[in-house]
Structure 1
């Protein structure tokens, strides 16, 4: 079953949140637009609550999708937010989430970022000696004791993670072997140490890799626990991925949840009263989003059919294959007003930009489309609009809808 089949399509017309595609386009007032299904966001958090150990707290990483309405909805579902800038922090605070349940990570935090976080009472996740010294200075200037955590670059490197964020030489965090010295340094300063953050990777679909990584993180934190007292939380990272391409499978969250029992209870006994946090971004929002654009031209060039749309890589860089893919592969695509159509044709779906890189789908079989039809790109809820070069060629910005 295609991931797009989960969006109800009676009579061949795709629906999101109970609204048919035509109504969504009317609500957007234009194409292209993004639409996110709030019921799928709710269902995904509910699945994690059911599958993971009951003591696990769920945080949403706002960088995956910073749409304000979506963040407000997520604030009713999750236990905290992870942010990577002062702008994201302000959006998180606007939801009413307690500052003590918001943490700021990132290897290149500006003085403005740090000052905003310290002043607001948000936890600053330290990733270098320079950040440690800057936070202490800002705390003195503001007359407050900064809340800090330590992000650790672990001494293991997952093999099957789609994007490796830990292990080896990284710009992220403090190397695990240097963590003890930095913890002693923190203890000697006017700082309030509240937690650890160990982020090992992301976009992993292999449950065995996730299980092994979580066990390694638990062991690492246990080893460092003697150097830190009264920990409020340990952010174990996340790493859960979603399938984008035909040869990919869904992560077995049940297997991950079952294996947690091996480390959750020992770690809770080791750190009583400490919140154990898993941080998720694309896993919470990726499959809940669609990108919708319209066919504005149809042409045949030397025997190959091209559907030219008013969308493209300036709105959805990832779908074009230019956001980390080594070999370009197609995201799930469909003709939204001809779902299940029988008159099929081979075609390429391209954008409106003046570059051959602007392709939304290569050599796909779709219901024969006409000018004015809607092209739908699935798995578009994470790292899409906000991770794309929207100013390229000065086309209008896409609208976003939470349905």
Structure 2
């Protein structure tokens, strides 16, 4: 008789963490029980070795085709950015504060790309004055704001055009192309956008930015998007009459959050790159370009856990509720309120692997029925003081959440590396 496949949580723990002989979950070799005792709960814990493993695996998979930068929005803590900088990554940022965080983490300004549909004049002054490597233009008003900032600073700014592609390039769990969008210039107005940039003496058009979708778990979907991106890049190069220097194909690489999600097959991704590499080689206007992937979730997500302590366990009309000190104010995505249409459970586990498991609702301390971390989590019998951990929490956790809601204190963030833990954001009071 064949054995049933392990559930997602069991698989993720085996891939990224471990349990000791007593069943306690360890991150980076340190027991979460000890970390929770030292730094309090709720608590975010990140494993630096896990960050490095994810980066190295992806870099190896796309070697010969693209370089890998880090999308800071996924987790903008400078200590996390620094780990990826040490691995050789540049940074993609979406605000002036993220620019400062990346520079503070050691990333040279010329290795930083600025994307986002609503860049303010103040942020543009900040990054242009700081010597940013490239700004990705998303609309006409922004084009003129960047040109004005370049004029004020007496410099020429390297820019790329973000293109909102046609329907043929869509894909991933969240479509960002093939429909009306605030992101980028529509593909239909590519010629006009190129001409508008070329008329600005302080702007130097060097590349393309394409981001057709996010949370992509299928290699063929990503490969199709990237192939389409190369076609658009060739069009821009032809219109400018000079080779492109940068082709930013975005991030969009997904990680499994829910039961039934498949892990992205890096082997299939690598095997499918040969035609794309050949496309670059055959076109002299693209052959010298730096092709960039800038994932965030894929690199940071699996290395993090969110730890919460049980405050109470109650039974209400046949249902079990585990009430914790952590919730949607720190981890909006896990609550299902960060853009999900159908709310599904992130993998949630007991930090101490007790016997038995039955479905229960894990809810937080906020006075709203939206504050639910899991709706049918298979957990053992728990009691006040026990710990639960939300896996896949290294990306879009704390800074993607309404931390001021109901004025609960900020949790600490801890980075574990080499068997030692360091506070990278102090716990609030």
Q: Same fold (TM over 0.5)?
A: yes
Deviation at 1:27, TM superposition (A): 3.6
**CA contact under 8 A between 2:206 and 2:245: conserved in structure 1?**
yes
Counterpart CA distance in 1 for 2:170 and 2:208 is 23
**CA contact under 8 A between 2:64 and 2:277: conserved in structure 1?**
no
1:142 aligns with 2:153: yes
Q: Name the TM-score, length of structure 2 as normaliser.
A: 0.90
1:320 aligns with 2:335: yes
- For residues 277-333 of structure 1, what are the alpha-carbon distances to aligned partners after superposition, in whole Å with 9 as ceiling and x for unaligned? 111010111111100000011111122221110011111111111111212111101
1:379 to 366, 386, 392: 392
**CA contact under 8 A between 1:118 and 1:147: conserved in structure 2?**
no
Counterpart CA distance in 2 for 1:14 and 1:136 is 52
* Structure 1 residue matching 2:332: 3-state secondary structure: coil
Deviation at 1:91, TM superposition (A): 1.0
Which deviates more, 40-49 or 52-61?
52-61
Counterpart CA distance in 1 for 2:340 and 2:168 is 20
1:171 to 165, 182, 187: 182
Which deviates more, 344-353 or 386-395?
344-353
Deviation at 1:89, TM superposition (A): 0.6
Match of 2:219 in 1: 207
Relative to structure 1, is the Cα distance of residues 134 and 346 closer, same or farther in structure 2, using a 3 angstrom cutoff?
A: closer
Deviation at 1:230, TM superposition (A): 4.5
Counterpart CA distance in 2 for 1:345 and 1:188 is 65
Match of 1:249 in 2: 262
1:51 to 57, 61, 64: 61
- For residues 139-159 of structure 1, what are the alpha-carbon distances to aligned partners after superposition, in whole Å with 9 as ceiling and x for unaligned? 111211122111111123555
Match of 2:421 in 1: none
Deviation at 1:138, TM superposition (A): 1.5
1:226 aligns with 2:241: no
1:113 aligns with 2:123: yes
Deviation at 1:174, TM superposition (A): 0.7
Deviation at 1:222, TM superposition (A): 1.5
Query: Mapping of 1:2-401 within 5 angstroms?
Result: 2=10, 3-6=12-15, 7-10=17-20, 11-28=22-39, 30-122=40-132, 123-158=134-169, 160-190=171-201, 191-228=203-240, 229-270=242-283, 271-337=286-352, 339=353, 341-401=354-414
After superposition, the CA RMSD in angstroms is 1.5
Q: Name the TM-score, length of structure 1 as normaliser.
A: 0.95
* Structure 2 residue matching 1:139: 3-state secondary structure: helix
* Structure 1 residue matching 2:69: 3-state secondary structure: strand
Counterpart CA distance in 1 for 2:38 and 2:234 is 52
Counterpart CA distance in 2 for 1:233 and 1:346 is 49
Counterpart CA distance in 2 for 1:185 and 1:361 is 49
Q: In structure 2, list runs of 5 or more residues that go unmatched.
A: 1-5, 417-429
